[in-house]
Structures are given as structure tokens and as C-alpha cells.
Amino acid sequence: MVQNGLHLAALLAAFFAVAALGRVVARVLRLPTVVGEIALSILLGPVLLAAFGKDVFGAILPAGLTGVLKQIGEAGLVLFLIGVVHHLDRGAGGWRGKALGRITVGAFVLPLLTGLVFAAWAIWFAPAHVRGTAPTTALVLMLAVAMSVTAVPVLARILEERSDLGRASGLSMMASVLIDTPAWLLLTVALGLAAGGLGGVWLAFATIGVGAVVAWLGYRALSSVAWFASRRPVLAALGLAGVALGAGAVVHFFGLTSIFGAFLVGLMVPRDEAWSRVVALVSRVGRAFVPVFFVVAGATLSGSGVSAFPWVGVVLALVLGVVGKVGGGYVGARWGGEDVVTSLRVGVLVNTRGLTEIVVLQIGFTAGLLTPGLFVALLVMALVTTAATGPLLDLITRRVGAAREEVLL
């Protein structure tokens, strides 16, 4: 028992070091730090397997501890997402009008269509080991969702580092928030179809409905004890973390991902100053353990094996991913009356996938909807599109500056 505890502590320390190294590498490459953190954490498992073989890999990451690490990583993700949902809900009121609505439509509908194209390739043209055995309808919905999501947490961190984007910042952020709801609902339908047909879908929606009522009641209850959050923030944070983890376990029992529990709790917490400080404490702790989630994802993929790298799937996913998000965001913004530069920036920003995409992919992989080949193709797409956000924004800014200089001359 003591030996396992020391082994677990050593693994966690190593994972934190890898995440820190990823952040350093990202800064050197002038990329969002979260990109380096995600990439190195996910690659850790495959690199260890390739470098030392299965026996050493199994000794470093034994099956017994991998299950514990998975629980730790998922718990960290749940706690971190509470802060993301809480923060985004507070800022939702300032951007309304036709531009936001049309950007949301463009950045969601066109990627859904490109997801259908990717699904057609997976079902009719991909090798059998890439297509897998998932029910066709569930797989189609899964791939459509995978193409349509935008990584709100990563996008928020990118926007914190950029002050030169004007209206594109608020429009892209709020469009991404609005896209999340139908995307997660479609993912719920896909999981329900995979698990138990339409009965599973109705149970999932019933769980969401009950959860919404409970969240509203919880909001009323927490609003009445704001004094406790103000005087005892640490105890309040511990209680909130316990509620979130419990909510995640309950919704998981009813066939949904535990992340829905985080969404409900994030919406439940009042938006006053005292509770916002409590949420910040909980989210900060969760953020520290998120790299464990990515390491386990990479280790799981290594254990499953990819018999042949799906180059066609990777290229197709990249092309369709960029066309769907950049094209959809641009067309939606122009349709909403925005200028060309703002529209281009919106398209590039909503093309950021990162954390949310990887969470969706891991859920689909764990549920058996995605094979290792499809997981790898979409994972590469998520990392590349996220890493490209900063350079593409810089390119747009340079082109705008050059155009202004030509006008002045």
C-alpha cells in the first residue's frame, strides 16, 4: 500500500513536470501555453511505450494505478470546468444582436455538415479497423459534434493574451458559449444511442431536466449563505468541490459524462463576489490536475494501439475542420454585418478546439464510439487548429498593418 502510494505520488510529480515543460516550450514557440501542456501530456504515454517497450511501460504506468489516475484526472477536469462555466455565464449579457446569432449559426451548422462528410468517409471508405463497430447513427452524431465544438477554456486563455482583436474577441467567445449547449446535447444523444438506444437518450434528457431544477434550487440555497462563503472560503470551496464530484458521479450513473455535473454546478453557484472567490479556489485546484487527464488519455490510446497511422483521416479532418470553423465563422460574421478583418478573426478564433475537443474525443473513445484511428485523426486536428490560432491572428494583423501603410503612402 505504501509502495503504491509513493509510486502514485512520483507519477503525479512527473506529470506536473511534463505539463510545466510543455508550457515553457509553448512560450518559446510563441504559442498559447495550454497547447504545449496538452501536447506533451498526451504524448507522454506513446513516447514511453515507443522508447522502453510494453514491459517497462507497464511497470511505469501499471494498470492498477492507471484507474486511480483516471479518476484523479476526471475529478480535476470537473473542478476546473466549474470555474469556466461560472465565469462564462457572468459575461453572457453583453453581446446580443444579429451578428452574434449569425456567427453562432455559421460556426455550428457548417462544421456539423463537414462532420457528416468526415463520417461518410469513415463509414464507406475507411478501413474496418478505423471505422470500428459503433452504431452508424451514434458514430455520425459523434463525428459531427467533434467537428463543431470550440474550446471555450482555451479560447478564453488566448483572448487574455490578446488585446488587439476588437469586437472579434467578444463575438467569438459568446458564439462559442452558445455553440456548446447544442453540441453537448447532440453528444448526449450519441452516447444514449450507443448505450441503450432511444431509451438511453430519454433517460439522459430526463437527467438533464432534473439536474437543471436541482441547479436552480441549489442557486437559491447558496444565495442565502453568501455570508458563509465570505467568512469561510476554504470550507465553502471544499463543500462545493464535494457537491461537484457528487453531481458528476450521479449523472455518470444515469449514462452521462461527469462533466455535465460540472456544468450544472457551475451554473448553480451565485455570481456574487464571495462565491466567485470560492469558485476560483476550486477551479485552481482542478486546473493543477487536468494534465493527469491528458496523460491518461495518451496512455489509454497507447494501450489500445493504432495498427496504421490514418494519414487520409488526419488530412481530411484537418481540411474539413478548418473549412467548417474558419469558413463558418467568417460567413456568419459577414452575414451579420461585420467587416472582413473582424470576420476573419472570428473564423480563426472559433477554430480553436483544444481542451473541449479533447474531452469530447476522450468521452467518445471511452464509450467505444471512436476507434484509436479516428481518435488520433481528430486529436491531431484539434492540436493543429488550436496551435494555428496565434500565428493566423498575427498574419491577419500584419496584413492589416501593411494595407494601412500602403494607403498612407
Pick the more confident residue, 83 or 247. Answer: 247
pLDDT value, residue 401: 65
Distances 390 to 30, 38, 132, 193 between C-alpha atoms, Å:
8, 16, 35, 38
What domains are defined for the chain? 2-408 (1.20.1530.20)
Mean pLDDT of 382-398: 87
- Name the least confident of 214-228, 239-253, 289-303, 343-357: 289-303
Checking 379-382 for CB contacts under 8 A at 24+ apart, the result is 379/42, 380/314, 380/317, 380/318, 381/314, 381/317, 381/318, 381/321, 381/353, 382/151, 382/353, 382/354, 382/357, 382/358
Cα separation of 328 and 336, whole Å?
A: 12
Q: Comparing 124 with 292, which gets the higher pLDDT?
A: 124
| Cβ-based burial of 101 (10 A; exposed 0-12, middle 13-18, buried ≥19) | middle
Other CB atoms within 10 Å distance of the CB of residue 357: 27
Q: Report which of residues 297 and 391 the model is more confident about.
A: 391
CB 248 within 8 A of CB 258: yes
CA distances 38 to 16, 22, 53, 322, Å, are 12, 7, 23, 20
What's the number of CA atoms in the CB half-sphere (13 Å) around residue 22? 23
Angstrom CA distances, 285 to 69, 240, 252, stand at 16, 12, 22
Give the list of residues 6+ apart from residue 220 with CB closer than 8 angstroms, or none. Answer: none
Average pLDDT in the chain: 82
pTM of the model: 0.76
Q: 372-387 and 354-366 helices cross at what angle (nearest 10)? A: 180
The C-alpha atoms of residue 81 and residue 236 are separated, in whole angstroms, by 17
Measured between alpha carbons, how far is 112 from 117 in angstroms, rounded to an integer? 9
Residue 306 has pLDDT above 60, yes or no: no
- Residue of 73, 70, 68, 74 lying closest to 4 (CA atoms): 68
